[in-house]
Amino acid sequence: MNTILENIEKQMNTASSILVEDVKKIDGDIIILGVSGKIGYNLSALLMDALKKAGKDTTVYGVARFSGGPESRQDLEDLGVKTIVADFMNDEELGSLPKVKNVIYMVGYKFGSTGNESYTWALNSYLPGRVAEHYKDSRIVAFSTGCVYPLVDVKDAAPSEEFMPDAIGEYAQSCLGRERIFEHFSKTNNTEMLIYRLNYAIDVRYGVLVELGTAVYEGRPVDVTMGQVNVIWQPDASEMAIRSLLHCTSPANIMNITGPETLSVRWISERFAEVMDKEIEFVGEEATTALLNNASKSHEIFGYPQTTIREMIDIVATWIMENGAMIDKPTHFQEREGKY
C-alpha cells in the first residue's frame, strides 16, 4: 500500500478527542457482536485508539464466525481486541459468550435475503430476542437501518424518528422485526438500549460513494432513478455508535444516523467527474420518491458529523485513482422494491 493510501487509513482509524472524552465515561467491558463485517474493523480501531488515549484498560471482545477467513481475526487481535469465534444461531455458543456491561450489536443478513427468506427472518428478527435475553443486564446499541422507512416524496421532509416505519420488502421488514424485538425486551427486562438506524456508511473500500466514483472513473453510465441519498463518513458513524453506549434507555432510544444533507446522486457523480477529470453519462430520470433519513436528533446529541461530503468525495476519489483495495459488496442503494 502506498503512503497516500496508508495516510487515509491511519486518519480513518484515529479517534477524535470527543470520542476519547466519551469513552472515559463508559463503565465496564465492551463486546462487539458481528465484528468481522464491513464496519467492524473501523469501529474496533477507533474504540481501541480512544481507550488507549483515555488510559483505560477496558477489555474489548469481538465476536463473529469470521466466515471471510482468519486474516480479519488477526487484524482485530493486532488492535488488542479479544476475538471469539461463535455462531450466534448456535444456542450453546451464544450462551457461552462473556456477559459484559456494554454490547454493540452489528449482526445482520442482507445480500441473498431474496430466496432465503426464512433464514433472513431468523437471523434479523429471531436472534435479537435470544441476544436480548442473554444480555438482559447489559446496555445494548443495536445497529438497524434507514430501510425501515418507506420511500418518501422528495418534496416532503425526510423521515425523522417521529415518523412511523413502513418497511418495503422482506429484508427491511425483518430489520424492523429486529428493532421491535429489541424494543420488546428493553421494556420487559428494563434493558437499556439504543436502536441505531444507519444509512449509508461511506468507507473507501465500499459504499454509495465508491459505487458512484468507480462508475464515473470507469466510464460506466450512472443511473439516477434513485435520485437522492443520505450518507455519513463511516468513522463518524462508528464513533457515534460507540458514544451511543452513553445514550441507551429503557424503553429503547431510537436514533437515525446519517449526514445532514439530502444529496443528489447526479450532483455527487458530477463532483467525482470534476475531481477525476472524466466525462459522465447518466441514465434514467430522478424518481419523485427516495429512501431518506432525517438524523437531526443524533446531530443534536453528538454534533454534526466531522467529515463533510466534499471531503468524502475527495478521499474516495483519491482511493479509487490510487487503486486502493475494495470490498466487493455493493450496497444496492438503487433498489426501490426492497429485493436484496
Ligand X SMILES: NC(=O)c1ccc[n+]([C@@H]2O[C@H](COP(=O)([O-])OP(=O)(O)OC[C@H]3O[C@@H](n4cnc5c(N)ncnc54)[C@H](OP(=O)(O)O)[C@@H]3O)[C@@H](O)[C@H]2O)c1
The least CB distance from residue 160 to ligand X, in Å, is 17
| Cα separation, 182 vs 129, whole angstroms | 7
d(CA 54, CA 20): 6
Identify how many contiguous H helices and E strands the chain contains and give both numbers.
13, 15
When the beta carbons of 39 and 176 are compared against ligand X, the nearer one is 39
Residue 107 binds ligand X (CB under 6 A): yes
Q: Which of residues 248-287 bind ligand X (CB under 6 A)?
A: none
Query: What's the CA dihedral at 297, 29, 307, 317 to 10 degrees?
Result: -130
**Residue in 198, 174, 191 with CA at minimum distance from that of residue 255:** 198
**103 lies in the site for ligand X, by CB under 6 A:** no
Is residue 338 within the footprint of ligand X (CB under 6 A)? no
Among 108, 165, 227, 305, binds ligand X (CB under 6 A): 108
DSSP 3-58: HHHHHHHHHHTSPPHHHHHHHHH--S-EEEETTTSTTHHHHHHHHHHHHHHHT---
Q: Dig out the grid coordinates for 42 from the structure.
A: 473501523
Please give the backbone phi and psi of residue 102, each rounded to the nearest 5 degrees, phi first. -120, 130
| Cell matching residue 178 | 429486529
| Residue 13 CB coordination number (10 Å) | 18
Among 12, 13, 36, 247, the residue binding ligand X under the rule CB under 6 A is: 36
Taking the least distance from each CB to ligand X, the nearer of 186 and 331 is: 331
- Tell the smallest beta-carbon distance from residue 234 to ligand X (Å): 7
CB atoms within 10 A of CB 15: 23
Phi, psi of 106 (to 5 degrees): -120, 20
β-bridge pairing 152-153 and 289-290: antiparallel
Residue closer to ligand X (CB basis): 128 or 227:
128
From 89, 151, 154, 301, residue interacting with ligand X (rule: CB under 6 A):
89
Instruction: Tell whether residue 199 is a contact of ligand X (CB under 6 A).
Output: yes
Tell which one of 31, 46, 58, 66 touches ligand X (CB under 6 A).
66
User: Binding of ligand X at residue 106 (CB under 6 A)?
Assistant: yes
Q: Does 61 bind ligand X (CB under 6 A)?
A: no
Using CB under 6 A as the binding rule, whether residue 84 contacts ligand X is answered as no
Least spacing, CB of residue 89 vs ligand X, in Å: 5
Query: Contact with ligand X (CB under 6 A): which of 16, 29, 38, 278?
Result: 38
C-beta closer to ligand X: residue 42 or 58: 42
Residue with smaller CB distance to ligand X, 277 or 337: 337
Residues 121-160 that bind ligand X (CB under 6 A): 123, 143, 145
Q: Which member of 15, 64, 141, 275 binds ligand X (CB under 6 A)? A: 64
Closer CB to ligand X, 245 or 273, in the complex: 245
C-alpha cell at 333: 442503494
Residues whose CB is less than 8 angstroms from the CB of residue 24 and which lie 6 or more positions away in sequence, other chains included:
54, 56
Question: What cell was used for 213?
Answer: 466514483
Region 201-240 residues binding ligand X, contact defined as CB under 6 A = 201
Q: Which stretch binds ligand X (CB under 6 A): 12-20, 33-41, 152-160, 310-318?
A: 33-41
Could you list the residues that contact ligand X (CB under 6 A)? 34-40, 64-68, 87-89, 106-108, 123, 143, 145, 198-201
